Structure 1
Amino acid sequence: MILRTGQRVVFIGDSITDCGRRDAAAPYGAGYVSLVRALVDARHPELELEWVNRGVSGDTVRDLAARWADDAITERPDWLSVLIGINDMWRRYGDRPNEAVGIDEYERTLRDLLRRAVDATGCRLILGDPFLIEADRRDPQRADTDRYADVVAALAVEFDAVHVPTQAAFDRVLAVSPGQRWADDRVHPHLPGHAVIADAYLTALGAIAP
């Protein structure tokens, strides 16, 4: 287990992280953040960790940049967990293609945000891959998602961050079950899908055996 006593763990991202944390499921949301918090606290109550959710539905890296000072740096995290990129790429396949963020801008912006957070707070980073709940790697949206996930994996190496391979976690369950079991739209998971994500985070944090 890599978390230490009294540390502050801040999660930031899009709807997958938000998951109702600003309304009915305040303050942690009803998704993977809440599951990670509950299970880590249950297994390690002696750590007395502080958990913060700053996910906002619909966000891209552009939106993160606009609120980064208030929702990431000002929170003074010991650990900053970032899961972003699904909307950046997904918008290209929906009715708002002008809001899509190209992969070069995505990489450049995310790297800048991570550097700002580390320089300002000294935090350690946890980087989750964007994912698509789709087993067919030839699917155009899945192929694009894999490219964005490769950016995150490379940034995790660059920043010596904890890398959470969420796409690989979904690939494991998709090998033996249909995608509809985990999400209706391939993006927003049902609770069992959030448990798949949480399981990947717990493994990466060393809270459970791989």
Structure 2
Amino acid sequence: MRPVRFAALGDSLTQGVGDPVEGGWRGWAALLAPSLAESPVDFTNLAVSGAQTRDVLDRQLPAALALRPDLVSVVIGVNDTLRCTFAIHEVAARLDTVYGALTRQGATVLTACLPDPGTMLGLPGALARPLARRQHAVNSVVHALSERYGTLHLHAGSDAWISDRAMWSADRLHPGERGHRQLAVRCHALLAGAGLATGPAPTAEPELPAPGRAASVRWLATAGTGWVARRCTDLLPQLLTLAAEELRHRARGTSARLDLRASAAVSAALAAVTVGEVEEAA
């Protein structure tokens, strides 16, 4: 009997950033892999830090299809929300193509919704709300497409674990070891409930202590400075524009219009991929 094949697609979260091991990163997907079966599991991590949905579609999907995996995780979208090029209709179209291609090949697809980066980074309200609105839009698309394609979907966007500092690494955006283990444990429970994970559950307790305040300061003074600079160059001008719009609507008492606009964009994006699916079938 051949080993279970598990391929992981996504960005730095799935790459394992925040869960350091000798020689690199480990992460929730690598922690999950051995628990999928009693026998060895053939695990390939295709995730790349900084990846967006277009990277998953253009680069990671072809590699995954070539592996013909039994299980594929697709956890992506946060980096899209952090770019000035964010467009929910493009995110929806890409994810629809990715989920569809994998399920048509016979793979079980594992998806997840995620917390918004503004909340995780502790940004002021006027800056955080536009990012929260974008992440909510991405999560809504992932929910709808997960239901359409019958994926196994993990709801990880609004749980108590988000406010538990011990779950997060020094950068406040990626889970630490405990957080990665929490994701692995929850994914295992989801797969086991569907009869798709027969090995023992991953261990929830971390091997290393959670990073303290000093580690956060060191991160900001070293790697964090470069991360912030890259995001500021790309996102900050538009984010400031979004924040100004947020404040104008708040002053006028019309903030609900921004939420309605975002909801309408999600509905239009999902309608577009549905129309495309019908036309392709015809």
User: Per the shorter chain, which TM-score range?
Assistant: 0.7 to 0.9
Q: Secondary structure at the match of 1:58?
A: coil
2:78 to 82, 86, 105: 86
User: Is contact 2:167-2:175 (8 Å) kept?
Assistant: no
Q: Which residue of 2 aligns with 1:72?
A: 64
TM-score, scaled to structure 2: 0.57
TM-score (norm 1): 0.75
Structure 2 unaligned segments of length 5 or more: list them: 202-282
Q: Which residue of 2 aligns with 1:205?
A: 191
How far is 1:131 from its partner?
Answer: 2.8
Who is 2:141 aligned against? Answer: 151
Q: Which residues of 2 match residues 162-177 of structure 1 at below 5 A?
A: 162-168=152-158, 171-175=159-163, 177=164
Q: Deviations over 1:108-165 (max 9, x none)?
A: 111012212233x2212111223336379x7412332122112111111100110011
Q: Equivalents in 2 of 1:69, 1:87: separation in Å?
A: 17
The alignment partner of 1:163 has SS state of strand
> Residue 18 of structure 1 contacts residue 56 of structure 1 at CA under 8 Å; is this kept in 2?
yes
Evaluate the alpha carbon distance shift between residue 150 and residue 8 of structure 1 in structure 2; reply closer, same or farther with a 3 A threshold. same
Superposed counterparts of 1:43-58, under 5 Å: 44-45=37-38, 47-58=39-50
Report the counterpart of residue 94 of structure 1 in structure 2.
none
Q: 1:5 to 1:150 in 2, by over 3 A?
A: farther
2:66 partner letter = T
Q: As a proportion of its length, which structure holds more helix?
A: 2
Query: 2 CA distance for matches of 1:182 and 1:122?
Result: 34
User: For residue 140 of structure 2, what is the amino acid of its counterpart?
Assistant: D
Describe the shift of the 1:200–1:143 C-alpha distance in structure 2 as closer, same or farther (beyond 3 A).
farther
Cα deviation, residue 11, structure 1: 0.7
Q: Secondary structure at the match of 1:8?
A: strand
* Structure 2 Cα separation of the partners of residues 69 and 156 of structure 1: 17
Letter in 2 for 1:87: N
Contact kept, 8 Å, 2:8 with 2:72, in 1: the verdict is: yes
Query: What is the rounded CA distance, in whole Å, between the counterparts of 1:55 and 1:159 in structure 2?
Result: 21
> Structure 1: how far apart are the matches of 2:96 and 2:162?
31
Q: Which of 95, 116, 132 does residue 110 from structure 1 map onto?
A: 95
> Equivalents in 1 of 2:91, 2:49: separation in Å?
17
Q: Which residue identity lines up with residue 72 of structure 1 in the other structure?
A: A
User: What is the CA deviation profile of residues 62-95 of structure 1, one whole-angstrom value per residue up to 9, with x for unaligned ones?
Assistant: 111221453221111111110010101122xxxx
Paired residues, what number?
Answer: 184
* Unaligned stretches of 5+ residues in structure 1: 92-96
Q: Does 1:61 align with 2:68?
A: no
Percent of paired sites with the same residue: 24
Letter of the 1:17 counterpart: T
TM superposition outliers: structure 1 runs of 4+ over 6 Å: none
| Cα pair 1:5 1:48 within 8 Å, conserved | no
